[in-house]
Every structure is written in C-alpha cells, then in structure tokens.
Structure 1
Amino acid sequence: MEKEKNRHSFSGSIGFVLAAAGSAVGLGNIWRFPYLAAKDGGGLFLVIYLILALTFGFTLLTTEIAIGRKTKQSPLTAYGKLKEKWGFLGILACLVPVIIMPYYSVIGGWVVKYLLAYLTGQGASAAADGYFTGYITGTAEPLIFMVVFLLVVAVIIYRGVNHGIESFSKVLMPLLLLMVVGIAAFSLTIHATDESGVTRSGLEGFWIYVIPSFKGLTVKGFFTVLLDAMGQLFFSLSVAMGIMIAYGSYVKDDANLVKSINQIEIFDTAVAFLAGVMIIPAVYTFMGREGMEASGPSLMFVSLPKVFSSMGRIGNLIGALFFAMVLFAALTSAVSVMEAVVSSFMDQFHMSRAKATVLEALIALAGGVLVCLGYNKLYFDIVLPNGAHAQVLDIMDYISNNCLMPLVAIGTCILIGWVVTPKTIIEEAEKTGCKFGRKQLYIVMIRFIAPALLVILLLKSIGILTII
C-alpha cells in the first residue's frame, strides 16, 4: 500500500491526455493511416474507422486505462492484481513494447537522418533513387542515429512521470499539432503539371481522400477495409501493448476518466485524419494515383522526398518541417513504449526508475543493433505465414503487432467481459460521479462484438483465414 501511495501521478488531466494522445500519435498514424485510406476507398475507410474508433477503440481504450487506475500497476503486474490466475496476460502485454522498442528506435533514427538532411540543405540528395536503400544498408550511420534517438527517449523516461513524460508532452504535443495543421493546410494549396501536361491539385487529392468510393466493392472487399481499419486502431490508440495501462496507473482517482478518454479519442482521430490531409493531396499532386500506393517506409522515405524535391525551393523547408513533425510524433510514441516496460520492471522487480531505464535501454539497444544489421550483415529473406517477405524488423513487427497484440486484446475482453465482469470497469470510470455515456454499448462490445472481431483479425493476421 505504501508503494501505491508513493506512486507518481500526472499533475492533471491535461498532462495525461497530452501524454496518452502523444503515445497514440506516432509513425503508425503518419505512414500507415494515409496509405490504408488511399488503398481502401478513401472516405469509405474514414467512415468505418470513425465508427470503429467510437465503439471498438473506445472499448479497449477505456478498459486499459481503467485497469491501470484501478490496480495502480503497470501492464506486467496489473492483470495479476485484477485476477491472480490471469497474470500471464500481463507477461504477453509487456512483451509487446519490449519487442517494439528496438525497431521503433531504428526507424526513429531514420527520421533523425532525414531531418538532418533537410536542415543542412541536402533535400535533393534525399530524394535521389537509392538514397534510402543506401542508408539503411550502411553499417555505421543507422547504428549511430538509432543510439541518438534511443538516448533522447531514455533521458525523458529517466526524468520520471512529471518532469519527464508530462513536461515533455506538454511542450511537444501542441507544437506537433500546430505543424500537422500547418502542413495539411499547405498541402491543399499546391498544384503541379506533369510531363504530359496534366495539371493536378492538392484539393483534388483531398476529395479522393474524403469521398467514399464503392467502385468494385465486394463483401470480401468490405471485410478487408473493416479489418484494415481495426488493425490501424491498435497503432492509433496504443491499445493491447500495455501503454494505456501504464499511463492509466498514473491518473489520479479524482480525475474524470470518461472525459479524458473522449478527449484522447478526438485528439487521435483528428491527427490521423490530418495525417492523410498532409500526405495524400501532396503525393497525388506530384505523383498521381499510382504514387498513393506506396506504404510504410517507402511512403515516408522514398515517395515524400520526391514530392518535396518537386516543390522547388520551398521543398527543402517543407521537408524539414515535415520530418521535424514526424520526429516529434516518433518521440512521443517511443516514450510511451519505453515507459510501459520501465514501469513493469519497477513494479515487478522493485527496481528504481534509474536502474529500470538503463536495463530497458540496453535491451532496446541490443535489439536495435540486430535490426540495423538485418539490412546488411545479417540480411535474409523469409516468407511469413501471412505471405509477406520479411527480415529482422518485419519479423519483430509481425510477432508484436499481428500475433501478440490481438491475443492480448482477446484475453482482455474475456477477462473483463466474463471473469471480473464489465461492472469492474464501469464502476472505475464512474468513481468520480461522472456518467458513463456509452455503458450499454461498452458491455455488448467487450463481451461479444470486440472478441469476435479480434479473433477474425488474429486468424487473418497469422494466415489461417484467407477467404477475407
């Protein structure tokens, strides 16, 4: 009890909301959301995503934050405290950020490299064919930038909840939002004429993004969009990876949990939408519809530098602003990923924050070195159960996102829906006298709809379900 009494807390709801939103607004929003929206019929994906965010996402987000505040524990120990025999779920939940942190640090290092390229006026070089491949297959540079990124994150975590995570989020998140809005607005104003004389504008790309397209849509196609949107919610809301349980454990008992969760939903969904407004109109203007098919690293590190290069003199400035914004987003997410592990070490092994931070930084460093070497000295190519070709980074991503996260979410739904019952979460949410507005929806989602959708998502992710 003494340990719980001394546990650090966010100073107020604003600090919590900004930290949680910062976790949610990461690389997944910026390079995955726009690609999926472009691939899955634009506005159709947006509508389905919004519906899922208000139902499925809301359910998982509420559950994890409430578990954290109720138990005052990190993910590794919270499940066991809620129900002793369910401690294994905490181990799975803690494994996710342990696996994610190394490759997230490597990608964060890529962002640092590109930001420096634009800040030093080397944007044209960054847009050249083979620049990205040449960089990631190098030996020293990727390792150096990965270490720089990881050290910044570790220092923030070392400083603690108030002086580290909360202070950092209060400065960076408003800056991030300002930059996202500014770049999105600029993206709508651009226009270009290609070699064949066809003129395209950012506004045209915006309408492609937001207007639902039902062209050639089948039942199978609809389920593909549904599962894509649901998979994206894991990235967008940082659920099923222990993060929201860790952050929830730092929320004071007198805070209005329902209001904070609603604010996180709005913040995250708005930034995810704006990420699409930033990227899709710009890529469409300079590269046409075929350019919108790029995804993941190729979108951010290959396609977009070519877009910035096509903008002329202002391209270097826009590129610098864009990668600064991406770096802010990557840092806020990486901080939450590391905190989920550090808080788990502190609660389970009674370590000091300093020791737990150093331990996790060393684990992430070792994993990050493997990821970097996976593009050169340790390169191999295998086919995953879902049919995708992979090397070290892809395997780690597949295990954490395609296997463990759906398993953690399914287990959480069973535990809350049927073992300790939804009443446990509802009472925690209403503890301060606030009204839980979507109570009946929550009960139906946590018991029936969410676990059913998650099982389908898991079976598809691991390659067992191929008809959808």
Structure 2
Amino acid sequence: MANVNNSGEREQWGSKIGFILAAAGSAVGLGNLWKFPYMAGKNGGGAFVLVYFVMLFLVGFTLMLAEIVVGRHTQLNAIGAYRKIRKNWAWVGALGVLAGFIILSFYSVVGGWVTAYLVKALSGGLKITDAQTLGNMFGQLISDARTPIFYHAIFMIATLLIVYGGIGGGIEKASKIMMPALFIIIIILVLRSVTLPGAFKGIEYLFVPDFSKINIGVILDALGQVFFSLSLGMGCMITYGSYLSKDTNIPESAVTIPLIDTAVALLAGLAVLPAVFAFGFEPAAGPGLVFITFPAVFAKMPLGGIFSILFFVLVLFAALTSSISLLEVVVAYVVDEWKIKRKIATVALAFIIFLIGIPASLSFGPWAHIKVLGDRGFFDTYDFISSNILLPLGGLLLCIFVGWVWGTDKAVKEASNDGQLEFKLAPFWSFLVKYVAPVAIAIVFVRSLIG
C-alpha cells in the first residue's frame, strides 16, 4: 500500500509547476540566505560562483536526477524504493529517513527563532542599530528555557498543518504560495539593498572574480555548498519523485530545481551583502547575519521596519518549504510501510520530532553544560550526525546504487519515459553518476569528518 488519497490511489502532484516549486522549496533553505553569500565573498567572489555552477552541474544535477528517477520508478518512500529495486539495500533509504528525522528536530528550533524574530519585527522590537545590543538580544532568546521551545512548537505546528493536507492539498498548495512570495520579497529586498549608498562594495564582494583565490579548498567549499544546499542524499527527492506521473520530464526538472535554488542563493547575496557593506558591517556567516547584522542594517534604513518584516517573512518561508519536505520523508515511510493513515502519522511524528528538538533548544541555555559527542551539545550533535555523516554517506551510496547496482541503463530508461523523451545527456550523466559524483562526494565526506 502506498501513500493514498480518498480514491485509494497513490497521490500525485497536481501539476508540473507544483512539483518543481515544492522540490525547489525543499532545496531552498536557511543556508541559501546566510551561507552562500558569505562563502562566495570569502572564496573569490565571481570566481567561486563560476566554480559553484560547474559543481552544480557535475554533482547537483547528477544526484537530483538519480533521486527523482528512483522515486518515480518505484512510487515508494525512500526505504521502500531501495527495497523494491534491491531488497538488501533498504538500509540506505533508512539513512535518509533517519537524516530527515534528526535534521527537522533541530531545524525546527531555528525555525522557531525565525518565528520569534518575525513577531519582534511586527511589534517594532527590532529598531536597534547597535550590533552588540542585538547580539545580546539574540543570546537571551536562545538561552532562555521556555520561549524558544514555545516558538519551536509554533513552527512545528505550521509544518504539521501543511503536510497534514497531503501532497496536492497541503505541500503543493503551500509551495505555490510560498515560493512565488519568496521570490517577490527577495527581489524587493534586492532593489532596496543595491540602491543604498556604498552598496557597490557588496556587489563587488559577491560577483567580481578573483581567480587567484581558486585552489583545492575553494573547489571543495563549492562542492560542499552544492551538496548541502540541495539537501541531497536524504531521500527527499526520492519521496517527492514518487508522487510524479509517468509522463513527467525528469531531466528537465532535475536541471530546473538546482537552478531555482541557485537563483535564490544569488538573489540572497544581492539582498544581503550590498546592505551589509553600505552600513559598514561584517558579512560574517551563520545565524549572526540573520539575527544580529541584518536587523541592525534595517534599523538604519528608511522604512526599515517594513523591510525587516519582509525579510523575516522571507526567511520563515525558506525554512518552512524545507521543513515540510523533511517531515514528508518520514511521514511517507510510516504511511507506506506501517499502513498508518497520513493524518495520524503526521501528527504523531511531528510531536515526536518536536520532543526530540527540545534538548537541541535547551543546549543553548540550561543544558549548555551537557556534552553528547565530544565537546558538542545536543544541537551540534544532531547537526554533525546528519550533515557530516548521514547526508554525504547517503549521497555516496545513492551514486553506487544507481550507477553500479541498479544500473544506469535502467535509470536512463526511466528518465527518458521508456524512450519517449530524448535524453541527450544520458551517456554523460551515466559517466558522472558512476565515476565523478561518487569520488567528489567521498572527498566531501572525508573532509566533513575531519573538519
């Protein structure tokens, strides 16, 4: 039994654009808004962007196509998909389901912070220009015992309600609203940012190439950013692909989704960096850019309160479009394998994930002294296990599975709709999935483990 609707048939995306927006929304997350702009500027600006595009094609497109093909071919969740093709490979799908489970437990905590800051922006509580004061405000929020857990619950409920509605009535409908809104908001912020006095320094930081900075480290940074930005290796695209009809053009979708993700990352860079440089702030990576630097920037702008609200709506939508895909990976598994109704599975799993996220939230406050893995608290342990172990391992094994176990001839047959579509890149893609992508991901994997 598969994930079904009322007619007893497996649910499907209502439209091609619905699938693309949902899948792109899954890829577009918080990392696009703070990590990509910083990584680009630090690693040679336009030179990094160029290397990133090369890696996007070599690894991003390759794995995206592989995951969607496996999902559409089997019409099953991540574990069921691997099992249907090769029974003894089901454990690889289990790694993806586990990754989705763990990531959402701490991602929802960050989503809670975003929700709290949107409330602050709406109430006018972010009209502070001093970065140190804003830093103290952020520190007080995340170290508090109760407030972050309350907002963690609010964010988790929002995620739950969307997934509760199913594929067409929940995820697709929400994605069709949030993704266009996300683009409109980000373009408004770009127009405001690039027209500020002194904004050109930020544009230069992001786009002017410094080819002297390109070395193996920059190439690996670009490769890692592509891999983690697209959320590959965790079975999300297998799950979303399983709801596709047999006449969908998979190669076209596998190109479009990474390009939308990258467009958001570049626009985020144009929205963030010119404004940061215009007001003399440092473009530091991480949550600090979103919760400390940018509120200070907005406070110095004319109509900054409006732009602050728009920005946190943007960040919230980016977080939600990713969180719904993470929850769907786990829900699809339980519905397919355990034969539990979607609505029951969604509520139960969201509640369990919320509970597991509580220690991650407390690890910045009352439980900061508790170390779980080395010197890592709960939050950092969840992050390390999922991002540094489960995701790259899942991506590496996906390449081996599609390239060497199932076979690229069968994958190409599925991707070309049994030969009805012309898939000109089939020989090149087959080479990439068998030889290039696994080596590249293995390098990312080793690098992520040794830090």
TM-score of the pair, normalised by structure 1: 0.91
Residue of structure 2 in register with 1:207 after alignment: 204
User: Does residue 40 of structure 2 align to residue 37 of structure 1?
Assistant: yes
Equivalent runs, 1:338-353 vs 2, <5 Å? 338-353=327-342
Residue of structure 1 in register with 2:278 after alignment: 285
Residue of structure 1 in register with 2:350 after alignment: 361
Give the distance between the partners of 1:235 and 1:406, measured in 2 at CA. 9
Amino acid across the alignment from 2:166: G
TM-score of the pair, normalised by structure 2: 0.94
> Could you say what secondary structure the match of 1:121 adopts?
coil
Residues 55 and 441 of structure 1 are in contact (CA less than 8 Å); yes or no, is this contact kept in structure 2? no
Residue of structure 1 in register with 2:308 after alignment: 319
User: Does residue 401 of structure 2 align to residue 408 of structure 1?
Assistant: no
Question: Aligned-pair distance for 1:214?
Answer: 3.2
The superposition leaves residues 304-351 of structure 1 with CA deviations (integer Å, 9 ceiling, x where unpaired) of 11211222x422111111111111111111111110110011112111
Equivalent runs, 1:102-117 vs 2, <5 Å? 102-117=105-120
> Could you say what secondary structure the match of 1:130 adopts?
helix
Distance 1:74 1:2, change over 3 A: closer
Residues 206 and 277 of structure 1 are in contact (CA less than 8 Å); yes or no, is this contact kept in structure 2? yes
Question: Aligned-pair distance for 1:152?
Answer: 0.7
User: Does residue 86 of structure 2 align to residue 83 of structure 1?
Assistant: yes
Give the distance between the partners of 1:447 and 1:384, measured in 2 at CA. 34
Residues 43 and 213 of structure 1 are in contact (CA less than 8 Å); yes or no, is this contact kept in structure 2? yes
Which of 265, 287, 291 matches 1:297? Answer: 287
Which of 417, 424, 430 matches 1:437? Answer: 424
Question: Aligned-pair distance for 1:77?
Answer: 1.6
> Could you say what secondary structure the match of 1:86 adopts?
helix
> Could you say what secondary structure the match of 2:407 adopts?
coil
Does 257-266 or 63-72 show the bigger shift? 257-266
Question: Aligned-pair distance for 1:360?
Answer: 1.3
Point out 4+ residue stretches in structure 1 off by more than 4 angstroms.
1-5, 381-385
Give the distance between the partners of 2:89 and 2:104, measured in 1 at CA. 25
Residue ranges of structure 2 left out of the alignment (5+ in a row): none
Question: Aligned-pair distance for 1:422?
Answer: 0.8
Residues 404 and 434 of structure 2 are in contact (CA less than 8 Å); yes or no, is this contact kept in structure 1? yes
Equivalent runs, 1:54-453 vs 2, <5 Å? 54-125=57-128, 128=133, 129-191=135-197, 201-215=198-212, 217=213, 222-288=215-281, 291-292=282-283, 294-311=284-301, 313-380=302-369, 390-431=376-417, 433-453=420-440
The superposition leaves residues 421-453 of structure 1 with CA deviations (integer Å, 9 ceiling, x where unpaired) of 111211111016222232122111111111111
Residue ranges of structure 1 left out of the alignment (5+ in a row): 192-200
Residues 287 and 307 of structure 1 are in contact (CA less than 8 Å); yes or no, is this contact kept in structure 2? no
Amino acid across the alignment from 2:232: V
Which of 434, 455, 460 matches 2:442? Answer: 455
The superposition leaves residues 264-289 of structure 1 with CA deviations (integer Å, 9 ceiling, x where unpaired) of 1221121111111111111122125x
Give the distance between the partners of 2:86 and 2:191, measured in 1 at CA. 49
Amino acid across the alignment from 1:308: F
Give the distance between the partners of 1:69 and 1:436, measured in 2 at CA. 16
Amino acid across the alignment from 1:116: V
**Among the aligned pairs, what percent are the same residue?**
38
Question: Aligned-pair distance for 1:401?
Answer: 0.7
Distance 1:124 1:94, change over 3 A: same
Residues 16 and 248 of structure 2 are in contact (CA less than 8 Å); yes or no, is this contact kept in structure 1? yes
Residues 76 and 344 of structure 1 are in contact (CA less than 8 Å); yes or no, is this contact kept in structure 2? yes
Question: Aligned-pair distance for 1:458?
Answer: 1.0
> Could you say what secondary structure the match of 1:426 adopts?
helix
Question: Aligned-pair distance for 1:204?
Answer: 2.5
The superposition leaves residues 361-383 of structure 1 with CA deviations (integer Å, 9 ceiling, x where unpaired) of 12211111111111112113769
Residues 402 and 462 of structure 1 are in contact (CA less than 8 Å); yes or no, is this contact kept in structure 2? yes
